[in-house]
Amino acid sequence: MYDYFLANDKNQFATTDALLNFCTNTYQMLDANIHQLPEPFLSMLPYMKQQNWLYNYQYDWGIQKSFNGVVKRSAYLTESEFAFNIFCTHKAAMQECYNDFFPFVKKFAENKVAQMFNH
């Protein structure tokens, strides 16, 4: 669900074109490094690209589809509608959590990328 807030974060993507460019670049980077990706992700990647999950996370229906997909792939989750209703009901509180959490995630990711390229 944080993908929804990231996709709608105007500090990260000022326009939908910027988000679309990011998504395109991400899919190209994944394809270029496909030999490093785990098998479960590889089986999902064609659907992810074809349906442009990253771009569609900006919409409520995109997150709802994501919740449905998690339930289909999970052995212990049985319904997604309940989770989606919680998401819709508590979106403002979740937005605040995203706002607090994302700067730390971004810094962590930047440090990991720097470590990868410095070795």
Q: Where are the alpha helices (DSSP H) in 1-119?
A: 2-7, 16-32, 39-50, 53-56, 60-73, 81-89, 91-118
Give me the amino acid identity at 19.
Answer: L
What pLDDT does residue 14 have? 96
Q: What's the structural domain count of the chain?
A: 1
pLDDT in tens, 78-115: 888 888 999 999 999 999 999 999 999 999 999 998 98
pLDDT in tens, 29-43: 999 999 999 999 999
What pLDDT does residue 109 have? 93
Contact 71, 79 (CB under 8 A): yes
- Domain residue limits at 93: 2-118
pTM of the model: 0.86
pLDDT in tens, 50-80: 999 999 999 999 999 999 888 887 777 788 8
User: Where does the pLDDT of residue 116 fall: very low under 50, low under 70, confident under 90, or very high at 90 and above?
Assistant: confident
User: Where does the pLDDT of residue 119 fall: very low under 50, low under 70, confident under 90, or very high at 90 and above?
Assistant: low
